[in-house]
Every structure is written in C-alpha cells, then in structure tokens.
C-alpha cells in the first residue's frame, strides 16, 4: 500500500514550482497512475465488482479534492504549502475541525449555585484534601431551595451575577428572617452563596459585590442555649415513661449525654466500634461524620447501662426532627419546667427589621438532641477535667469553638471559683 500524493502547481507555471501535498489516502501501488495522478479503476478481468467499486470511490475522492483546491486557489490566489495542506485535511477529515462544545458561561446566581452543587462530588476541600461530603452537598441544596422560594416570591426568574449585590443581600436576609430562621441559620445560607460565587472565574467574582466582606458580611451570633446538669440527666434517665417510643428516645439521649457525640454519630455507638484500652476499660473508636475527626470515647458507667439494656444494639435512629419532638415530651414529663431566657436575632413584625430579642421558655421546650453534647462538655468541665482532655473526646479542634459549648452561668462560675479558693485555703 502507498499513500496517494498529489501535486499542485498553478497552470502555466514551471513544473519546478509544483508543491507536493499529502492526502492520507492509501491505495495499492499498482493501482495508481503516477503520470496522470489518478487511481486505475480496472486492471484485469478477474477483479470483483467490490474491488472496482472501491477504486472508483477513491478516484472520485481525489477528483473532488482537486476541484476543491482549484476553487480555493481561484478565490484566494496562490497559497503556500501549509495553507494548502490544511485545506486538504479540512476537506478529507472535517470531523477533526468541529469546534469542541464550550461549557456555558455562568451568568446568573442560580446557575452558579447549580454548577457549584453539580461539581461538588469532584471538588476537593482545600484544608482536608478530601471530596465534599454528602452532608455539605445537602446544605447547599437547602440553600438552593431557599433561593428558589425567594425568586418565586419576588416574581423573577433569576439574578445576574453582577446584580448579586448589597441590595440583594439585604432583601434575601430579611426574607429568611421572615421565615423564622435564626441568624446563624441565615448566616449559613449566606456562606453557601458566597462559596458558590467564589468558585466562579476571577473576572466574574470581581464584578460581584456579594463576596465583599465589608458590604455583605457573614452572619453569626452567640446564641443562648441550655445544658442539663447531671441531676437533671439522672431524672430523665430514671423517670417512668408511658410509651416505648419515648423510652427509646430517652435512652438514646442519655447515651449521647455521656459520650459527647452528635446525633449524626449515634448509630456508631455499637459493639463493632468498642475496643479495650490498656487499662482494661473499654472505649468507642469512631470517625465523626461531620468533621471526619477520629475520636476515642471512654464508655462511662451511665453509657454502659444504656448499652447493656439493649444488648449493645441501640434502637434504630429516627429523623432528627421527630427525635427532638419526642425528646421535648420526655423532658416535659421529667418536670424540667424551670424558666430559661433565650436571646437571639429575629424579625420584628411591626418594623419588619431584624432585632435582638429575649424570650422566656420552660426548659423542656429548649431541649434538643444537641443539648446532650453541650451537657457532656459542660458537665465534664464542671468536674474539672482539663479542657484539652474534653476536646479530645468531643473532637473540637480549637478551644474557642469548644468554649462555646460550655454553658456555665456567671453565678455558677463564681460559685466554682469560691469553692476552689476555699479548698486551696484549707491546704495552708
């Protein structure tokens, strides 16, 4: 097999000026008429029609190519070898020159959020070096849902990236407050939108006011939350409950309150994750779902009692919302009626502005699954365990984040200081 090469030269030009061009078309050497620069259609009578047909097709392709080159030269004048070779390649192999489909340019806020979510499974977290977790993706989808509701209320389809500015920020924040969300929840949605925009190319971020910290700040506040003392936990642990489902919820809550785990890790407190320590006692070794931090949790007597009650197979974990609903009923039946004050930011119905407000509740109304984790941290702190020791159990990375969990009141703190001072004074 040989490659068919054709020669191009302007009519009436000296033969020495002709240009050799490659076609990539392969035929048997015996089939090509080098003088006439064409494929021989018929060589012998014994050839099959298929062979002759193939030769005919090759000859037609060469003729069409020659006609194509003549037209190009006629329209554009004399061309160089590289330009003529490119023309041949485009004619014979047009598929190689089809422009690749360009990804659509993100122009609107919803497009940015949708792209951010779609790219999440393949995006690596800078600090952790791991893919984005399912929990984080779900949070971004929640933000997407709230944006959809907001746009529907405003009767607009979408917002250009350049229009995602302070006016939008103020409007969207007020929209979330009007739906009853607290500042920290509002702040998480703002954070998610900032993340989606920051994932865009630099030229789009530059024209977006929303990512400017001074104009559109992240929102967060210290919220008054409660914890349960060891006496209150004991009351809940020993109360007789009227229904089995309440009994299971109570036991799961007590287990969390003596391990410091989040509700998302409750199902990991099982026999498979129990290990024996060098001192002979047992512990849980788990990887936290939220932070992927590996922690070792000693199994305290109160937790052991719950585990043994269920033969180390704790009841099936239910939805967090339903769990909190049942837990409040347990706390109410346990008589946690003390009045507590909670201060947070919410929308003022009269002024339609966000304001810090203080509300009073019965303590049982404020108990949630996360109260267990705060109770563990606070009670261990009140037992004078070192902060770093407790942090190693809870998985907190910074002391500042951990101390937000400590719910010791000013009066309790003063009492503890006085007790410690008196104890030290007796030593002298």
pLDDT given for residue 89 in this prediction? 80
Sheet containing 294-298: which strands, arranged edge to edge? 274-276, 282-287, 294-298
Q: Which domain holds residue 192?
A: 109-211
The verdict on 244 and 343 lying in the same domain is yes
Last residue of a domain, one of 46, 66, 97: 97
The verdict on 115 and 84 lying in the same domain is no
The verdict on 52 and 182 lying in the same domain is no
- Band of pLDDT at residue 75, cut at 50, 70 and 90: confident
pLDDT given for residue 120 in this prediction? 82
pLDDT given for residue 10 in this prediction? 47
The verdict on 37 and 123 lying in the same domain is no
Last residue of a domain, one of 97, 130, 157: 97
The verdict on 266 and 391 lying in the same domain is yes
pLDDT given for residue 411 in this prediction? 77
The verdict on 171 and 83 lying in the same domain is no
By the 8 A CB rule, do 79 and 10 touch?
no
CA dihedral (111, 114, 120, 121) positive or negative: negative
In a domain, 156, yes or no: yes
Q: CA-CA distance, 336 to 373, in Å (whole number)?
A: 18
Residue closest to 331 by CA, chosen among 258, 246, 272, 394: 246
In a domain, 223, yes or no: no
In a domain, 222, yes or no: no
The verdict on 151 and 295 lying in the same domain is no
Last residue of a domain, one of 97, 132, 152: 97
pLDDT, the chain, mean:
81
In a domain, 216, yes or no: no
pLDDT given for residue 400 in this prediction? 80
Mean pLDDT of 57-76: 76
Q: CA-CA distance, 3 to 28, in Å (whole number)?
A: 9
**Tokens 């967060």, residue?**
220
CATH code, domain with 252 = 1.10.443.10
The verdict on 245 and 394 lying in the same domain is yes
pLDDT in tens, 184-223: 888 899 999 998 888 888 777 777 888 777 777 777 766 6
Q: Which position has the higher pLDDT, 79 or 389?
A: 389
Domains in the chain, number: 3
The verdict on 141 and 45 lying in the same domain is no
pLDDT given for residue 292 in this prediction? 81
The verdict on 73 and 160 lying in the same domain is no
In a domain, 137, yes or no: yes
The verdict on 75 and 154 lying in the same domain is no
Mean pLDDT of 3-7: 51
pLDDT in tens, 125-170: 666 666 777 778 888 999 999 999 999 999 999 999 888 888 998 8
The verdict on 120 and 171 lying in the same domain is yes
């Amino acid at each position: 097999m040989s490659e068919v090469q054709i020669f191009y030269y302007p009519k009436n030009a000296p033969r020495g000026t002709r240009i050799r061009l490659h076609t990539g078309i392969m035929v048997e050497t015996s089939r090509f008429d080098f003088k006439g620069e064409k494929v021989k259609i018929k060589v012998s009578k014994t050839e099959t029609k298929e062979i002759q047909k193939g030769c005919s097709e090759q000859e037609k392709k060469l003729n069409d190519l020659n006609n194509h080159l003549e037209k190009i030269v006629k329209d554009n004048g004399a061309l160089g070898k590289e330009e003529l070779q490119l023309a041949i390649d485009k004619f014979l192999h047009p598929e190689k020159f089809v422009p690749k489909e360009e990804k659509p340019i993100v122009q609107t806020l919803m497009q940015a959020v949708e792209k951010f979510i779609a790219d999440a499974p393949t995006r690596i977290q800078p600090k952790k070096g791991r893919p984005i977790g399912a929990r984080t993706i779900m949070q971004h989808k929640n933000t997407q849902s709230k944006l959809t509701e907001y746009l529907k209320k405003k009767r607009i389809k979408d917002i250009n990236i350049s229009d995602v500015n302070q006016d939008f920020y103020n409007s969207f924040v007020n929209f979330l407050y009007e739906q009853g969300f607290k500042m920290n929840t509002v702040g998480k949605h703002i954070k998610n939108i900032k993340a989606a925009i920051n994932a865009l190319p630099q030229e789009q971020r530059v024209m977006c006011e929303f990512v400017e910290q001074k104009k559109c700040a992240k929102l967060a506040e210290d919220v008054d939350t409660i914890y349960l003392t060891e006496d209150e936990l004991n009351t809940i642990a020993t109360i007789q409950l009227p229904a089995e489902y309440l009994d299971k919820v109570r036991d799961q809550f007590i287990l969390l309150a003596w391990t410091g785990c989040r509700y998302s890790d409750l199902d990991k407190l099982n026999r498979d994750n129990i290990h024996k320590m060098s001192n002979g006692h047992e512990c849980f070794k788990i990887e936290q779902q939220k932070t992927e931090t590996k922690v070792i949790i000693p199994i305290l007597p109160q937790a052991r009692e719950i585990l043994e009650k269920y033969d180390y197979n704790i009841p099936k974990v239910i939805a967090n919302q339903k769990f909190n609903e049942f837990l409040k009923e347990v706390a109410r039946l346990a008589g946690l009626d003390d009045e507590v004050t909670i201060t947070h930011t919410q929308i003022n119905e009269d002024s339609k502005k966000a304001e810090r407000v203080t509300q009073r509740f019965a303590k049982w109304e404020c108990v949630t699954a996360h109260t267990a984790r705060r109770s563990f941290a606070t009670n261990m702190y009140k037992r004078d365990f070192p902060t770093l020791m407790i942090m190693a159990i809870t998985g907190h990375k910074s002391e500042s984040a951990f101390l937000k969990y400590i719910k010791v009141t000013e009066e309790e703190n003063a009492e503890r200081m006085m007790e410690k001072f008196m104890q030290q004074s007796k030593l002298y």
